[in-house]
């Protein structure tokens, strides 16, 4: 799909057609289209909205031009042969052990978008030097051919792949409720009637800008990252799989206190 419109003037016809094409692409390729990731420069695919609000954000804020592969909106990634081969070996020697030790299957992990191929790519990147050789820095510039993330989006995508993602949840300014589940589409607190949106200094509501946000760090992706390694998984389950020996203390539960 042509993505040149992402660099076009926001009031141009090319940008308008590009926005509609992007939204149609997302609707056609995503199972849930009521709340999808917003790729504008402010939301950076972290916040979720309906198609109408995302359309407004793309016009008011512009699209994040570093978002070149629309993975959050149904576009597949291209995997390298080495990464695929490493993952297949990992799956054979590590994953079965983890599931047996912990006693869980894929259904217990929930729908969190985990992809072992993408994880393997990130692990492979960890062995790659930041730059081929130490060069003389010119001012505040990094050495040439460095492989550091070129944008905030790229850095956040790496953290997400490692199971370190987070979710922003709108909250009542008085801590009455979180705008999720039954209150996901509410615009006012059912307890005190306070607006969900932030007020400007002129008492004008900024619709789409939450008055309060809670940062939620899902534990399941972090557990999966910890159990990714066969050796680490065995260490993490040691306290449950160990054999206790009389008169010897090897774990706090061996002590009467």
- Residue 229 CA to its chain's centroid (Å): 21
Predicted confidence (pLDDT) per residue in 121-130, tens digit: 666 666 666 5
Q: Name residue 170's beta-bridge partners.
A: 213
| 136 has a pLDDT exceeding 60 | no
Q: Per residue, what are the HEC states of 127-171?
A: CCCCCCCCCCCCCCCCCCCCCCCCCHHHHHHHHHHCCCCCEEEEE
The pairing of strands 48-49 and 167-170 is unpaired
Least confident span in 35-44, 90-99, 111-120:
90-99
Predicted confidence band of residue 214 (pLDDT cuts 50, 70, 90): very high
Structure tokens at 162: 């490692």
- pLDDT score of 102: 44
Predicted confidence band of residue 54 (pLDDT cuts 50, 70, 90): very high
Structure tokens at 191: 């307890």
| 107 has a pLDDT exceeding 70 | no
Asked whether the beta carbons of 51 and 79 are under 8 A apart, the reply is no
| 39 has a pLDDT exceeding 90 | yes
Asked whether the beta carbons of 47 and 61 are under 8 A apart, the reply is no
The pairing of strands 48-49 and 36-37 is antiparallel
Q: Per residue, what are the HEC states of 17-67?
A: HHHHHHHHHHHHHCCCCCCEECCECCCCCCCEECHHHHHHHHHHCCECCCC
| 132 has a pLDDT exceeding 80 | no
- The CA distance from 123 to 119, in Å, is 6
- Helices 81-90 and 116-125: crossing angle in degrees, nearest 10, is 110
- The CA distance from 2 to 97, in Å, is 44
- pLDDT score of 34: 84
């Amino acid at each position: 799909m042509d993505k040149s419109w992402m660099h076009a003037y926001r009031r141009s016809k090319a940008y308008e057609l590009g926005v509609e094409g992007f939204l149609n692409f997302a609707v056609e390729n995503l199972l849930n289209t009521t709340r999808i990731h917003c790729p504008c420069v402010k939301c950076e695919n972290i916040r979720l909205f309906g198609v109408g609000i995302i359309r407004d954000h793309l016009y008011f804020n512009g699209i994040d031009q570093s978002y070149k592969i629309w993975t959050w909106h149904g576009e597949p990634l291209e995997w390298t042969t080495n990464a695929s081969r490493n993952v297949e070996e990992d799956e054979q020697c590590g994953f079965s052990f983890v599931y047996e030790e912990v006693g869980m299957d894929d259904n217990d992990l929930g729908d969190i978008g985990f992809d072992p191929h993408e994880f393997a790519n990130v692990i492979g990147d960890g062995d790659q030097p930041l730059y081929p050789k130490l060069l003389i820095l010119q001012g505040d510039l990094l050495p040439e051919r460095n492989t550091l993330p070129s944008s905030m989006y790229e850095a956040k995508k790496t953290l997400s792949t490692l199971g370190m993602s987070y979710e922003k949840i709108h909250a009542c300014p008085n801590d009455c409720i979180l705008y999720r589940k039954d209150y996901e589409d509410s615009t006012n607190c059912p307890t005190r009637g306070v607006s969900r949106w932030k007020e400007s200094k002129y008492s004008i509501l900024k619709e789409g800008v939450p008055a309060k946000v809670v940062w939620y760090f899902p534990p399941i992706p972090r557990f999966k990252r910890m159990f990714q390694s066969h050796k680490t998984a065995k260490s993490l389950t040691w306290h449950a799989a160990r054999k206790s020996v009389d008169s010897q203390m090897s774990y706090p539960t061996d002590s009467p206190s």
